[in-house]
Amino acid sequence: MTEEKQDVGAELAHIEHAVTDASQQLSLKDIGSERVPGARGRDSSESPSLRKAKTGFADSEVRQAVGFGFASATGGYALIAPLLGAINAEIGPDPNVVWVGLVYLLTQTVIFSIVGRLSDMFGRRWFFITGSVLGLIGSILGATARTIPQLIGAEVFIGSAAAFQISFFWVIAELVPMKWRFIANSGAYAFTIPTNALAPKVAQAFQTQTSVRWRGCFYFCIAINVVSVACWYFFYHPPTFKMLHRRRAARDLLLHFDWLGLCLFTGSVLVFVMGLSWGGSVYPWKSGHVIGTIVAGAVMFVVFILWEVYLPLKDSEPFLPIHLFANLQYISAAALTAIGAATYFSFSLIWPQCVNVLYVGLSDSYKGTLFGLVTMGFVFGQIVGGFLATLWAPKPGLILCTCIGGPLLMSAAANPLNMSLTMGLITTGALFIGMQEGNCIAMTTFPLRSQEEIGTAGGLSGTIRSFGSVIAEAIYTTILANRLARTIPALVPAAAENAGLPATSIPALLTGLAGTTNLTAAAVPGLNANIIDAAGAAYRLANSQAYQTVFLASFAFGGLGMVLCWFTGGVDKSKDDFVAGHIHKHKEERALEEERG
């Protein structure tokens, strides 16, 4: 009797194992029963049209659409950010110039998830054509701007376009075999070298060596977007709505979609991020504008989660599947992309300020090179990381990069006045964090319940990534401002008075050192060369102490990354040759839509 029970148990285990294998194969090969056979994922060897993807890339024209779009998304702000002071002096001055950067981050943070979710449902083609068209419109508006409000309006379009164009990582991911996703992303990052890694140098060249000056940055983006729009339109033909939904009409899907969830999510993210962005720049942190928007955004997000969990309309299509938030491997990878992006955006903002204040006697050309060290290290890390993850197991490489990059950036606090040491640590740290971020952004596309959700998951990870950038930027700028408010009064007045400056001239001296007014004897009574030298040295020391604190604070993100990297998922070798999506020729569209099976 016992042996019989054991035989039955073994048979049941065998059946369970077989069913599990079958369900896993179904989740890969039959991505949603709604899709026609030609729109389902498959092994790359099963179709001649997919075999060429074994090289790791989709059609070259689609690669160009993705690459040029991504280049435009980064260049739309990275090219003009180093020149905002000169731009404000020419078409301003306007205190609202801070909104140029704010709206760029705000719009893409909100739109990322909308692009991913809706393109999963309705098809991708027109979403990405629209994205590059928005980038083209924004670049034209930027090139013709005559006031700062007009420039802000241009960045609204450019930031909105960036949400489409920076979604490259999951658009590429579904067109290549899983094993080539990392290296395919590296190819896209290479397109951004002139608009991101070398953006400060390119921007400076336009400003100093052309007659159009800073407007040349937007002319450059216009050209890039024209190419991107053309490539998307003529060569990108992913599954249409009819291929994705054999049994549902567009009207039915629109009526049953969770539009309230979309509004709650969008509103909560927009309001919360706006409050964070305002804090310390537009309004003081203790102001009602900042506190009110942060609290309102947080409450709205709680309501959104409750709505998605207890969705009363059971037959409706949720905006964000709630199971994504419970997927530890996915959330860990998405959070690590946010930490990487936080390093990129924050250090790209803080480091140029550090160079301007601490290192004197440098030419403008050399300063332009130093300004770009963070972006150079980060982008080249993203490129190299994809190759290394393909050659080596990605998770061990991710852990290694995270555990090296964070401590290196923190170590820049050793002596900020030592330019060679500091720029070496920051550049190397940015290189490793770039490798980490580039690998993690690809890893968010793997641990999904179904590859049918790759756009939804990619859009959410894009929102998380941008959200982390805003948080880090707010934290770093606040720490820097608070520390400078203490270190400068503690060091500079005493040094200036000891050198012979009257106490009544100290306020004028401080504004002069900050660059707000002229640092001359007429503006600062009693000023002479000895006082300038003594006060300048004290001012640099005070700033170096403030930047030390900022660099040390960066480990709050780096340390969190060193914990999260252990929870990310590896890559299942059994799925190496699986391709989640496809593109087809326009003339094949009708036949594919009418497929049955």
Answer for the pair 427, 376: CB distance below 8 angstroms, yes or no: yes
Place of tokens 């403030």: 546
Secondary structure string (H, E, C) spanning 243-286: HHCCCCCHHHHHHCECHHHHHHHHHHHHHHHHHHHHECCCECCC
pLDDT at residue 337 in the model: 94
Strand partners, 579: 42
What's the rounded Cα separation, in Å, for the pair 17 and 161?
46
Look at the alpha carbons of 349, 350, 352, 357 in this order and tell me if their dihedral is positive or negative. positive
Model pLDDT, residue 597 = 58
Please determine whether the domains at 52-245 and 330-570 fall in the same fold group of CATH.
Answer: yes
Quote the tokens at residue 424.
């070496």
Of the candidates 579, 454, 573, the one whose C-alpha atom is nearest the C-alpha of residue 28 is: 579
Cβ neighbours of residue 226 closer than 8 Å, sequence gap 6 or more: 136
CB 440 within 8 A of CB 387: no
- Which two three-digit tokens encode residue 542? 């005070």
Q: Are the CB atoms for 199 and 78 separated by under 8 Å? A: yes
Helix axis angle, 99-122 relative to 60-78, nearest 10°? 150
Tens of pLDDT along the chain (597 residues) come to 444 444 444 444 443 344 334 334 444 444 445 788 777 888 877 655 554 444 444 456 788 889 999 999 999 999 998 898 899 989 988 888 888 988 998 899 889 999 999 999 899 999 999 999 999 999 999 999 999 999 999 999 999 999 999 998 889 888 889 989 999 999 899 999 999 989 988 998 999 999 999 999 999 999 999 999 999 999 899 998 888 887 778 888 888 888 998 999 999 998 998 888 888 777 888 888 889 999 999 999 999 988 888 877 667 788 888 889 899 999 999 999 999 988 887 888 889 889 989 998 888 888 888 988 999 999 999 999 999 998 888 899 999 999 999 999 999 999 999 999 999 999 999 999 999 999 999 999 999 988 889 999 999 999 999 888 888 888 888 899 899 999 999 999 999 999 999 999 999 999 988 877 888 888 889 889 999 999 999 999 999 999 999 999 999 999 999 999 999 987 778 788 888 888 888 888 888 777 765
Are the CB atoms for 373 and 351 separated by under 8 Å?
A: yes
Predicted pLDDT at 53 = 43
How many C-beta neighbours within 10 Å does residue 331 have?
A: 20
Contacts of residue 190, defined as CB under 8 A and 6 or more positions apart, other chains included, come to 67, 383
Quote the CA–CA distance of 202 and 222 in Å, as a whole number: 15
Measuring CA to CA, which residue among 159, 186, 158 is closest to residue 172? 186
Helices assigned H by DSSP within 288-371? 288-309, 328-358, 364-371
3-state secondary structure of 574: helix
* Cα-based distances in Å from 446 to 63, 414, 495, 544: 21, 39, 58, 43
Domain boundaries in the chain? 52-245, 258-316, 330-570
In contact, 241 and 267? CB cutoff 8 Å: no
**Beta-carbon count within 10 A of 49 CB:** 16
Predicted pLDDT at 344: 83
pLDDT value of position 341? 87
Q: Which CATH architecture has domain 330-570?
A: Up-down Bundle (1.20)
The bridge status of strand 578-579 relative to strand 42-43 is antiparallel
Cα–Cα distance list, 132 to 43, 152, 232 (Å): 31, 18, 8
CA distance 159 to 379: 20
Q: In the prediction, which pLDDT does 24 show? A: 41
Q: With contact defined as beta carbons under 8 Å apart, do 374 and 426 qualify? A: yes
Q: Read off the DSSP letter of residue 317.
A: B
Give the separation between CA 459 and CA 555, rounded to whole angstroms. 27
Helical residues (DSSP H) of 42-147, grouped into ranges: 48-51, 60-78, 84-91, 99-122, 125-143
- Cα dihedral: 276, 281, 282, 288 (round 10): 50
How far does the chain reach from its first CA to its final CA, in angstroms?
46
| Contact (CB, 8 A) for 189 and 438 | yes
Amino acid at 156: V
105-to-152, 161, 231, 274 alpha-carbon distances in Å: 12, 11, 26, 10
CATH match for 52-245 among 3.30.930.10, 3.90.15.10, 1.10.287.40, 1.20.1250.20: 1.20.1250.20
CB distance 509 to 496 below 8 Å: yes
Helix (H) or strand (E) holding 42: strand 42-43
Please report which helix (H) or strand (E) contains residue 578, including its range: strand 578-579
Spatial separation of the C-alpha atoms in residues 490 and 495, rounded to whole Å = 9
